[in-house]
Amino acid sequence: MSAGSSPNVPPRGAVGGSFPDVTPEQAPLAQSRLHLGNEGDHRPRNATRRDAASAERDRIAAALSTNIVQRLFAAGLALDGASSGLRTSTTVQATIITAHHVDNAVRILDETINEIRAIIFPGTERGAAEGPNLPGRLQAVVTDMAAVLGFPPSVFLSAALTGAVPRDLGDDLVVALRESLANVVRHARARSVAVSVRMIPGRLSLEVTDDGVGIGRMSRNRGLRFMQERAEQHSGTLWTSTLDHGGTRVVWSVPL
């Protein structure tokens, strides 16, 4: 023990080893200030966690409101077709058509379950939800909607799509195609639909054309506004027009 020091009082600078110029009498106040300072250090981290949780909720909500809602819409239309068939006819042919509608609805719902899992738990069901490649995913949308349209659309998919489109852009292209075909089902009363996805130097374009009743009020519907927002996120555009011979053309185009 050094001369002049008390056995029960630590020397200046020795309180907790953290306050080099604090006397024993000042230690409680210094400790309190340290505690408050540590709480302040946690606030940015807490805010960051809250921001991350909010962003994750927004991601899930956006995915559910686009892909999932449209898939459930397609399944509902398939089941409605089955119900109508049972009410109007009991022939063998009608029974076969009804069974096809039910089978298609079951397939859509099964794929939807997998996609919901992939949205909520990214990485757990990616293969089932996404399909092998972008052309496969686009063709799956056409197959889903063909059952509720009542006929298969004609389809052209550029051979250059595979491996050439960024993942986030591909996701929005799939959503745009599904929404375009859903609009035909809801509004057009069409007898034929043509789908074209083309890549030209520096640009990716989706075109959906039908021979229905024309665009009318559809130009202001929520689905088209959503498609336009998705295009604008990629610095792209959405164009809709009524054809001279009747029907509607929707063009969703973005730069690569």
39-74 pLDDT, tens digit each: 555 566 777 878 778 777 877 777 676 667 777 777
Count of the separate structural domains present in the chain? 2
**What share of the chain in percent tops pLDDT 70?**
69
Please report whether residue 143 resides in a domain: yes
Please report whether residue 1 resides in a domain: no
Q: Are residues 116 and 230 in the same domain?
A: no
- Cβ atoms < 10 Å from Cβ of 147: 22
- pLDDT 10s digits, 213-233: 876 655 556 778 888 988 999
User: What gap in Å lies between CA 78 and CA 150, rounded to an integer?
Assistant: 9
Q: Taking the chain, what is the end-to-end CA distance rounded to the nearest angstrom?
A: 77
- Cβ atoms < 10 Å from Cβ of 131: 17
Domain that holds residue 155: 132-256
Q: Are residues 89 and 126 in the same domain?
A: yes
Q: Are residues 217 and 150 in the same domain?
A: yes
Q: Are residues 81 and 150 in the same domain?
A: no
Please report whether residue 10 resides in a domain: no
Last residue of a domain, one of 90, 110, 130: 130
Last residue of a domain, one of 130, 159, 185: 130
Q: Are residues 165 and 80 in the same domain?
A: no
Q: Are residues 102 and 137 in the same domain?
A: no
Residue 174 contacts residue 236 (beta carbons within 8 Å): no
Q: Are residues 97 and 159 in the same domain?
A: no
Residue 105 pLDDT greater than 90, yes or no: no
Q: How far is CA 150 from CA 97, 143, 184, 191, 212, in A?
A: 11, 11, 12, 9, 14
Span 121-144, average pLDDT: 67
Last residue of a domain, one of 82, 109, 130: 130
Residue 245 contacts residue 198 (beta carbons within 8 Å): no
What is the DSSP annotation of 141-199? Answer: HHHHHHHHHTSPPEEEE-GGGTTTS-HHHHHHHHHHHHHHHHHIIIII--S-EEEEEEE
Please report whether residue 11 resides in a domain: no
User: What gap in Å lies between CA 5 and CA 248, rounded to an integer?
Assistant: 94
Please report whether residue 9 resides in a domain: no
Q: Are residues 103 and 121 in the same domain?
A: yes
Name the average pLDDT for the chain.
75
Please report whether residue 3 resides in a domain: no
Q: Are residues 77 and 122 in the same domain?
A: yes
Which CATH number covers residue 157?
Answer: 3.30.565.10
Q: Are residues 137 and 253 in the same domain?
A: yes
* Amino acid in position 251: V
Q: Are residues 107 and 117 in the same domain?
A: yes
Q: In 3-state terms, what secondary structure has residue 200?
A: strand
- Tokens of residue 125, six digits: 């069901």
pTM confidence score? 0.59
Highest mean pLDDT among 122-131, 159-168, 207-216, 246-255: 246-255
For residue 248, the model assigns a pLDDT of 92
- Tokens of residue 117, six digits: 């899992």
Please report whether residue 114 resides in a domain: yes
Q: Are residues 138 and 256 in the same domain?
A: yes
Q: Mean pLDDT lowest for which of 91-100, 172-181, 192-201, 207-216?
A: 91-100
Please report whether residue 15 resides in a domain: no
Q: Mean pLDDT lowest for which of 64-78, 133-147, 154-168, 181-195?
A: 64-78
